[in-house]
Chain A
Amino acid sequence: MKNQRGALTRKGLAILLIAAVAIVVAAAAFIGFRSNSDTVVKPPEEIEDYLFWEAKELTGFKLTGAGGKALGLDDLKGKWSFIFFGYIHCPDVCPLTMGILGQAFKLIEKNPAAYQDVQGIFVSVDPKRDTPELLQEYASYFSSKFTGVTGDTAQVDAFSRQMSALYTIHPKEAQASGDNYLVTHNSTVFLVDPQGRLYGRFPPPQLPQEIAEVFLKIHTFYNERVKK
């Protein structure tokens, strides 16, 4: 009886040990996996929801700004880019979102180091009506940090599809006059990191304080944990 109990205890201990080793190995593998790529270092909870699980490398694209100035992937590198897809004939959601971003930039300005890393890019998905010159005037109204760009449909698509920022240009209603057609667009603000990777996003409805606070936390987290 005693021996039997002793045997059971030893057996139990062996099982416990094996289980403990397995847990340690699994945890080590898990931590190791997460440390493998800098993008999966666990971000603080309060910014986690705004980040993509894995930062997505963007591929080359070419859009055009005022004066024929090209904007490509290299122009995103070294900056944090806030990207918004819209169109000038959008009277409600676009000025609302651009205004919110402009106010968020003003709040970020209180942290000069973060502010100098920021740029805003307004991409028109309506190149038929929006020229690069009009876009620059429109975008810089909301903040001097903004660049307004567009391209032909293929160029806009080559960029917007990398962010799954879908849009639809609606055939104008029969009775509508002139150029008054509507466009459905993604009203998410996308965040591209200084390595040119799609890093986070601010889904609607956005708030200036929310964007500024979350961005400053992302900026700190990135500089401390990711960039090394």
Chain B
Amino acid sequence: MIKFFPNILAALMLGFFAPGASADGDIQIQDPWVQAAPPSAKVLAAYLEIKNNGKKQQALTGISSPAFGQIEIHRSVIHGNMAHMEHLKELAIPPNASVAMQPGGLHLMLMDAKKPLNAGDQVPMTLIFGNGEKIAVTAIVRSGKTGSMEDHRHMDHSGHGEHKH
């Protein structure tokens, strides 16, 4: 039994109980989740927050998951009531700042789902950073908190999620 313990601990650390983080702790991933959608939805969206505690700028450059054929960084932009998506090659996280993805803005576009996902399912994902760091996270499938979208109105679409008040 004892020898399984480290595995369980590792699994927990990769799970949603503990946020994913880089080895040096400079990059932390918080609250990764996938928007629950009807089975007919072939493309889904995932959201998470990336904190950069370090002194150097970091960049999310790629994402992979066994549950999807392809994952890209996208940003929904609504301009004059017209909604469109921009594909970002990478997402910069300035030093001592965090970038939060949110419905209606920055998101990970999950394409070619291997099978339909239901609320409560767990999706393992690996985030790849420009410095070569790979961070494993487990995203939970759930319905978005559309009832508390008040913040959405004041969202900064510039891609820099840090709050300036």
A: residues with CB less than 8 A from B are 88-93, 95-96, 99-100, 103, 134-135, 137-138, 141-142, 166, 168, 173, 177-178, 180, 182-188, 203-205, 207-209
Contact = CB atoms under 8 A, between A and B. Distances in A.
B82 interface: yes
Interface of B: 35, 37-45, 69-70, 74, 76, 78, 81-85, 87, 103-105, 107, 109-112, 143-144, 146-147, 149-150, 152-153
Contacts of A177: 69-70, 112
Contacts of B81: 186-188, 203-204
A93 B104 contact: yes
B146 A99 contact: yes
Those 7 A-B pairs whose CB atoms lie nearest each other, nearest first: A141-B38, A91-B45, A184-B84, A187-B83, A134-B40, A96-B103, A93-B83
A178 B112 contact: yes
B43 to A, nearest CB: 4
Contacts of B109: 91-92
Given A96-B146, A205-B153, A137 B70 contact: no
21 contacts: A89-B42, A91-B37, A91-B109, A99-B144, A99-B146, A100-B149, A135-B40, A138-B40, A138-B41, A141-B38, A173-B87, A177-B69, A180-B43, A180-B70, A180-B112, A183-B84, A185-B82, A205-B152, A207-B150, A207-B153, A208-B147
